[in-house]
Amino acid sequence: MKESLDVVKIAAFNYAKQNGLSDKWESEKFHLHVPQGAIPKDGPSAGTSIFSALMSIMTNQPVAENLAMTGEITTLGEVISIGGVREKLTACKNHQVTRVILPKSNKKHVHKLPSEFKKGFTIFYVSNVD
């Protein structure tokens, strides 16, 4: 999990620098705390969510409601595949979340799911944080 947080912080700094937000990044002190009980393998899938939370703070723009996201992130801001797509979509379904952001590289996994299962979802596929 610590490694994932370090990667997200680098990606956020790079994004901030490229988009004229670096003065905000440097003036703020961000501390990312993950409880000790966190499961180490949970880290990579949280990359896009943590990145979005940091950008929300930096730009003072809230993340949209009724939106779930998952995806591993690289230091260059690329969003790469995750595992457990069906399980994550099931969790969304169980909590009435209808809009989901997934890595573009996981599109093939969603395509294999039964159409009845996918009904009611709006899925956005992304390949980078832009």
Which residues does the annotation mark as catalytic? 45, 88
Q: How far apart are CA 93 and CA 47, in angstroms?
A: 21
Cβ neighbors of 85 (< 8 A, separation 6 or more) are 102, 106, 109, 110, 113
CA separation for the pair 99, 2 (Å, rounded): 28
- Beta pairing, strands 99-103 & 67-69: parallel
Q: Sign of the C-alpha dihedral, residues 21, 67, 37, 42? A: negative
